[in-house]
Structure 1
């Protein structure tokens, strides 16, 4: 079969011929139809992640969509979404014509959404959805600020907040044109982030737009998170699920304690299988109804190296998806 092999950390994977994988006990064999290139894929393949340097060569792809070829839990032909530990632990991932996956990791799909679009949503959509609802405790009437609203997590965050009855939703991002995109996704206001701006200045500009908010979805950390913390209403929550703007944020102890405000860390790895299934089911349902969408570009497996390079340089609008 054809698979994308990453031969050395820091290099893009390249399509090669390899032997078909053979599932073991408790494993399923999946014919892969779509595998997105995510920030986690890029981080793991750089050799600098907190998981350590991966053994090479390996097939990247921390998630995928496909159909079951062999399984003890699902019928042949069942359409599924699945995660993998590629780059985080020994073993291959989804960027191949076939993948071996733990049976209990498979999430059955209805098939109501195009495989490539669902792959583009994938773990990023699950993260945004559950960070808001499970970790952040989003309730109808909350005012929500989504940092990094131009990314996949942020785009889903804007839409998910509205779907869950938020009274007001605000976006914040660095990229030019991100304000128009946030408005098109239902944002009530937008904060244009600037490079090298200090916390106090950004906090003043944020408050002018958002006033106070009950919940912040934060995939950025750094200065944007520090400023957003100063916009939290009493009993407000900031849920952090990334650090693309910096590894550390600052907060005032007095501000945090005086309003019983909370800072919460989020990771998909903490989700139970039932929570992951429920999130994906909701995401698929809303995507099928046109209420949830993200942009993506499709690349054939033999152009995996090109897709990887484009995603790494930020030249893809949304998510690059490899379609074996």
Structure 2
């Protein structure tokens, strides 16, 4: 038997239930879960209002996790792994339980000695930041980079990723004072307050004042007004990579700005990555974490307290990533 956080109705937090451990089909591994983060994607899928549609109920949420292989065909038992799931997006259960069955192809053996909750807190958010900058954004050493939404996990990893890849100047922008302080601690050369402004001109001036000349690359987790303002900081042929829309589903930028500088607007999603790209990015991030060069703040929460932690995430009250742990 095992404990599992279970979504029984869309829009409600999961409740702890006791059930039999899952069956293990051929080609899968049984993983003893150590840590599972509660992410915005988990909460969105459980509302039933995401573009993935209404999930098949009941189900165990958790789109990613860290654990130890109990049984597998090709990976030795006892191997520490990170894994992703499609819980809430397709029928099936996720990581917020004592055990999870995962296709072996989706397991990433973990290098180094890094705490499981930190790996879980980094996870898909770190993959997104790393690949959006280095692969989609083609970040090169010596470039100036603006990070929009630097208070979140993706933004904080992006600040560190830009530094690790030799950016000459990193400007971190977000609404939260705590987020700006954290971005400075992580290596941002300048921080910009995005709060209290409701027009593109004001935000553009704030960003330009923090820049040392034209910007090469913008990583945008916000869209809306901040994205439109950030476009004005870009040099000719500059790039903006968008991977979120928490500030708005539309952005009021003008054709003249785009055309006069031949700017490149690029979309990014983790769903486009191959299994190899996702694995390589996660391993690179974890190796930097093991070396003390990559980190994000997180709170550990017992699995039994999932409902309270879930509601904090859903209401926007979680200041750090909440990571469920299964230790009893």
Task: Give the superposition deviation at 1:275.
Answer: 0.7
Specify the SS of the correspondent of 1:134: helix
Give the drift of 1:202. Answer: 1.0
- What residue ranges of structure 1 are gaps of 5+ in the alignment? none
Determine the C-alpha separation between the residues in 2 that align with 1:182 and 1:168.
13
| 1:104 equivalent in alignment to 2:143 | no
Q: Identify unmatched segments of 5+ residues in structure 2.
A: none
The one-character-per-residue Cα deviations of 1:274-305 (angstroms, maximum 9, x if unpaired) are: 11111011101110111110000111111111
Instruction: Summarize deviations over 1:28-76 as a string: whole Å, max 9, x none.
Output: 1110000000110011011110101111111000000001111122111
Q: How far has the Cα of 1:183 moved from its partner?
A: 1.2
Residue number in structure 2 paired with 1:251: 253
The equivalent position to 1:294 in structure 2, one of 285, 293, 296, is: 296
Shift of 1:257: 2.4
**After the TM superposition, which segments of 4 or more aligned residues of structure 1 sit over 4 Å from their partners?**
none
* Distance (Å, rounded) in 2 between the aligned partners of 1:274 and 1:180: 35
1:246-294 CA-to-partner distances (Å, cap 9, x unmatched) read 1111322232223221111100011111111110111011101111100
1:177 aligned counterpart, secondary structure = helix
**CA distance in 2: counterparts of 1:166 and 1:66, whole angstroms:** 34
Matches within 5 A, 1:83-94: 83-94=84-95
CA contact (8 A) 1:296 1:316 kept: no
Please identify, of 166-175 and 226-235, the stretch whose mean Cα deviation from structure 2 is larger. Answer: 226-235
2:265 aligned partner: 263
Aligned to 2:22, the other structure's residue is in SS state coil
Contact 2:31 2:70 in 1 (8 A): yes
Number of the residue aligned with 1:82: 83
Equivalent residue number for residue 155 of structure 1: 156
Alpha carbons of 1:82 and 1:263: their partners in 2 closer, same or farther (altered >3 Å)? Answer: same
Alignment partner, residue 179 of structure 2? 178
- Computed over aligned residues only, the root mean square deviation of the Cα atoms, in angstroms, reads 1.1
Residues 136-145 or 180-189, more deviating: 180-189
